[in-house]
Amino acid sequence: MTDNRLERIDPDKATGEQKKVISRLGEGRGRIPTPFNIWLHNPNLAEGMEIIGTHVDHSPVLSEAESEVAILSTAVFWNAAYVIANHKRHALKSGVPEAVVAAILEKRRPEAGSDRFGLICDAVCDILAGGAIDDTRFARYDAALGRAVIAELLITVGYFTSISLGMTLHALRPKD
């Protein structure tokens, strides 16, 4: 498969609404990330996704390693090869232990311990399994992580679900 399904937006030929989003992307990221070439065809959607994506990229409540667990787990859940390749590197670089990365890639629940990082790993697995957990487990996440972290994990999984599905639908493959 090739990336010929992806119709990139030429910034010089973009509509006014598209240019507005492109400008915000340039300010926040210095470039047009690949998924935005999908979303920019609907500028209102792209604008909302830019706000969410910038927030996720600079999470005030998750460390980079915690975010990468959620991102990589989501990409693996959706079998999104492009996202997996990119975020496997990011996860390792951010300090996610190799054993945790390996477990995620093998679609196993990581054995990451009972500290905050281990709870993040467990919560991400539970979210991707549909989120139907018992009250005791939810109370454990609420007490140890808090509602802001739970909300952040949900939006990160949701945002990267959209990215994973979009990249797969547009047949994007990782660079060799």
Can you give the residue ranges of every domain in the chain? Answer: 11-57, 64-169
pTM of the model: 0.92
Q: Please answer whether residues 49 and 36 qualify as being in contact, where contact means their C-beta atoms are separated by less than 8 angstroms.
A: yes
Higher per-residue confidence, 55 vs 4: 55
Contacts of 97 (CB under 8 A, 6+ apart): 112
- Give the chain's mean pLDDT: 93
CB atoms within 10 A of CB 17: 14
Over residues 49-81, the pLDDT tens digits come to 999 998 999 999 999 999 999 999 999 999 999
CB atoms within 10 A of CB 7: 11
pLDDT score recorded for residue 1: 44
Q: Is 111 exposed, middle or buried (0-12, 13-18, 19+ CB in 10 A)?
A: exposed
Higher per-residue confidence, 139 vs 113: 139
Q: Which CATH architecture has domain 64-169?
A: Up-down Bundle (1.20)
